[in-house]
Amino acid sequence: MTDKKLRATITGVGMYVPDKVLDNKYFESIVETNDEWITSRTGIKERRVLENGATSDLAARAVDDLLKSKNMSAEEIDLIIVSTITPDMFFPSTACVVQRKVGAKNAWGFDLSAACSGFVFGLETAASFIESGKYKKVVLVGADKMSAITDYTDRNTCILFGDAASAVLLEPTEDLSYGLQDSVLYCDGTGEDALHMLGGGSRNPATHETVDEKMHYIYQDGRAVFKVAVVGMADAAVEILERNNLKREDISFLAPHQANMRIINATRDRLGLQNDQVMVNIHKYGNTTAATIPLVVTEYYRAGKVKKGDKLVFAAFGGGYTWGAQYIVWSID
What CA–CA distance (Å, rounded) separates 132 from 179? 15
Report yes or no: 42 and 166 within 8 Å, Cβ to Cβ: no
What CA–CA distance (Å, rounded) separates 57 from 164? 10
Which member of 116, 158, 260, 281 is catalytic? 116
- Is 287 noted as a catalytic residue in this protein? yes
Which member of 24, 260, 281, 287 is catalytic? 287
Q: Between β-strands 46-49 and 20-23, what pairing exists: parallel, antiparallel or unpaired?
A: antiparallel
* Sequential DSSP letters for 287-306: B-GGGHHHHHHHHHHHTT--
Report yes or no: 133 and 116 within 8 Å, Cβ to Cβ: no
Ramachandran region of residue 287, left (φ > 0), alpha (ψ -120 to 50) or beta?
beta
- Is 283 noted as a catalytic residue in this protein? no
Q: Is 24 helix (H, G, I), strand (E, B) or coil?
A: helix
Longest dimension (CA), the chain: 61
Q: Between β-strands 163-173 and 20-23, what pairing exists: parallel, antiparallel or unpaired?
A: unpaired
- Is 24 noted as a catalytic residue in this protein? no
Which member of 24, 257, 260, 281 is catalytic? 257
Active site residues: 116, 257, 287
